């Protein structure tokens, strides 16, 4: 039976990998309902034409004329703006890829959850800034949540949920990013170009900078705590520069189960697309003999304070992860605009966390208000630390 697919963040790195899998699948297996992007009208129109989507929606209304023009004569609906994004995410579909970057993905992701079906989640920031709300909405709608983030997808594959008490720890691997071996002076002088040069993965700008600061791994520790029945102290991070082992689960009988694969997001996306079955994905197969050796080491929390800050946020609970995520988004944006130094990213996050404390966030309204307040505060702090625009 044909399954209806919606992609939130269709023009991005994860969106494009998802589209590549859909295009390679046997005809008639999938049909595309909605494609959503931010402002890339040309990229969205191209994807919508290739996949014969029913509707293509941009968050930015300024792009609507260009989108309409590019889709003229195709019969594909074009729309733009926040309400249109929500409407597209709410349309009936069996499977949704949630891959909008940042907390901007929260609203559309929640709309897809409320409509039901399967939610393949790449947008880790949604789970960090509003974890309890996302999980509550999943429970209430009966939607199925499948983790796409490579480490969490690996752990999901290795986790035997039948006996959670027998899980001793879960391990998230980290490449260490472009500054794994850099001195503090090199990190202080890091440019956006250097930070964006990830040693292994090809990804969007924001997550690439997060990998360089290791906020990506910090966000992933919080993401893992939301997804898996494992307490924070049993969620470990292990530096693994080859990014070949993506995640591991240690059991009480001494077994350590790992998922390995080439560093290619089509594998975890294919896993989520076919789950509970499997499908073919044309990714490079691992050649372990050619690889020769796999390295592992403990992370350096002194050079990468992001890991400590994320653990503090996770343990503090309440709105602290929301604050950490929002402040990091602001700081990354300023760093990419060359208005903030690389090492200042963590300073902005830490100072924003200190300023705002741990307010309760019982509902979505409170989360959104705190997210906005943290952005304002982080902007002030970054302004004091950073360079003039
Ligand atoms: N890339 C990867 O390998 C991995 C990514 N992830 C996570 O997946 C998410 C996406 O990452 P990635 O694909 O790399 O990011 P990209 O920057 O490549 O893509 C982001 C996507 O989000 C869209 N977008 C941005 N802002 C909005 C908005 N306000 N409303 C609607 N759409 C918007 C962009 O549209 P436009 O192009 O028009 O701006 C684009 O389609 C992130 O949360 C990331 O952490 C997780 C694991 C791996
Ligand atoms: C592909 C993926 O899941 C990314 O989150 C990746 O893990 C980033 O690399 P780092 O391990 O350097 O953060
Ligand atoms: Mn990851």
Confidence of residue 161 (pLDDT cuts 50, 70, 90): confident
3-state SS, residue 145: strand
The reported pLDDT for the residue numbered 162 is: 85
Separation of CA 175 and ligand 2 centre (Å)? 7
Judge if the beta carbon of residue 263 lies within 6 A of ligand 1. no
Contact in structure between 52 and 27 (CB atoms under 8 Å): no
For CATH 1.10.1740.10, list the domain ranges present in the chain: 317-385
Percent of the chain with pLDDT over 90: 97
Name every residue whose Cβ is closer than 8 Å to that of residue 109 and which is 6 or more positions away in sequence: 8, 89, 98, 100, 119, 121, 123, 126, 134
With CA atoms as reference, report the closest residue to 367 among 322, 324, 311. Answer: 322
- Residue 387 above 90 pLDDT? no
For CATH 3.40.50.720, list the domain ranges present in the chain: 3-147
Separation of CA 65 and ligand 3 centre (Å)? 36
**Cα separation of 247 and 293, whole Å?**
17
3-state SS, residue 253: coil
- Residue 174 above 80 pLDDT? yes
**Cα separation of 122 and 106, whole Å?**
11
What is the H or E stretch that residue 248 is in?
A: strand 245-251
Contact in structure between 172 and 254 (CB atoms under 8 Å): no
With CA atoms as reference, report the closest residue to 156 among 224, 220, 240, 97. Answer: 224
Q: Could you give the angle at the alpha carbon of 356 between the alpha carbons of 351 and 362, nearest 5°?
A: 140
Separation of CA 35 and ligand 1 centre (Å)? 13
ipTM entry? 0.99
- Percent composition of the chain: helix, strand, coil (DSSP 3-state, to 5): 50, 15, 35
Residue numbering of the annotated binding site for Mn(2+): 149, 151, 220
CATH code of the domain occupying 3-147? 3.40.50.720
Confidence of residue 389 (pLDDT cuts 50, 70, 90): very low
**Cα separation of 16 and 158, whole Å?**
26
The reported pLDDT for the residue numbered 373 is: 98
Mean pLDDT of the chain: 97
With CA atoms as reference, report the closest residue to 32 among 74, 81, 83. Answer: 74
* Class of the CATH domain delimited by 317-385: mainly alpha
Judge if the beta carbon of residue 201 lies within 6 A of ligand 2. yes
Residue 159: CB atoms within 10 Å: 21
* Residues 1-40 pLDDT 10s: 999 999 999 999 999 999 999 999 999 999 999 999 999 9
Pairing mode, strands 118-121 and 144-147: parallel
């Amino acid at each position: 039976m044909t399954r209806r697919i919606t992609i939130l963040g269709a023009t991005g790195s994860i969106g494009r990998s998802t589209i590549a899998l859909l295009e390679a699948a046997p005809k008639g297996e999938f049909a595309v309902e909605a494609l959503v992007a931010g402002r890339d009208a040309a990229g969205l129109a191209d994807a919508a034409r290739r996949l014969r989507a029913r509707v293509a929606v941009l968050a930015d209304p300024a792009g609507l004329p260009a989108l309409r023009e590019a889709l003229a004569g195709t019969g594909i609906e074009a729309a733009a703006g926040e309400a249109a994004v929500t409407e597209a995410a709410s349309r009936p579909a069996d499977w949704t890829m949630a891959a909008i970057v940042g907390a901007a993905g929260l609203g559309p992701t929640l709309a897809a959850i409320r409509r039901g079906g399967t939610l393949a989640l790449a947008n880790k920031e949604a789970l960090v800034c509003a974890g309890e709300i996302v999980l509550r909405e999943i429970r209430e709608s009966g939607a199925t949540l499948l983790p796409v983030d490579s480490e969490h997808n690996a752990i999901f594959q290795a986790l035997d949920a039948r006996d959670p008490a027998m899980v001793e720890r879960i391990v998230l691997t980290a490449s260490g990013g472009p500054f794994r071996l850099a001195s503090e002076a090199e990190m202080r002088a890091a440019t956006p170009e250097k930070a964006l040069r990830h040693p292994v993965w090809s990804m969007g700008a924001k997550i690439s900078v997060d990998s360089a600061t290791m906020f990506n791994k910090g966000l992933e520790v919080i993401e893992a705590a939301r997804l898996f029945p494992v307490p924070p102290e049993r969620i470990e991070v292990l530096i693994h520069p080859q990014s070949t082992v993506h995640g591991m689960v240690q059991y009480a009988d001494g077994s350590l189960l790992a998922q390995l694969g080439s560093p290619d997001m089509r594998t975890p996306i294919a896993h989520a697309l076919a789950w509970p079955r499997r499908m073919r994905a044309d990714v490079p197969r691992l050649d372990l003999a050619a690889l020769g050796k796999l390295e592992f080491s403990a992370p350096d929390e002194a050079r990468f304070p992001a890991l400590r800050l994320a653990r503090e946020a996770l343990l503090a609970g309440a709105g602290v992860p929301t604050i950490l995520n929002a402040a990091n988004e602001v700081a990354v944006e300023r760093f990419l605009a060359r208005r903030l130094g690389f090492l200042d990213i963590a300073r902005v996050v830490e100072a924003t966390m200190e300023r705002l404390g741990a307010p309760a966030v019982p509902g979505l309204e409170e989360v959104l208000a705190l997210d906005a307040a943290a952005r304002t505060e982080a902007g002030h702090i970054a302004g004091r630390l950073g360079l003039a625009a």
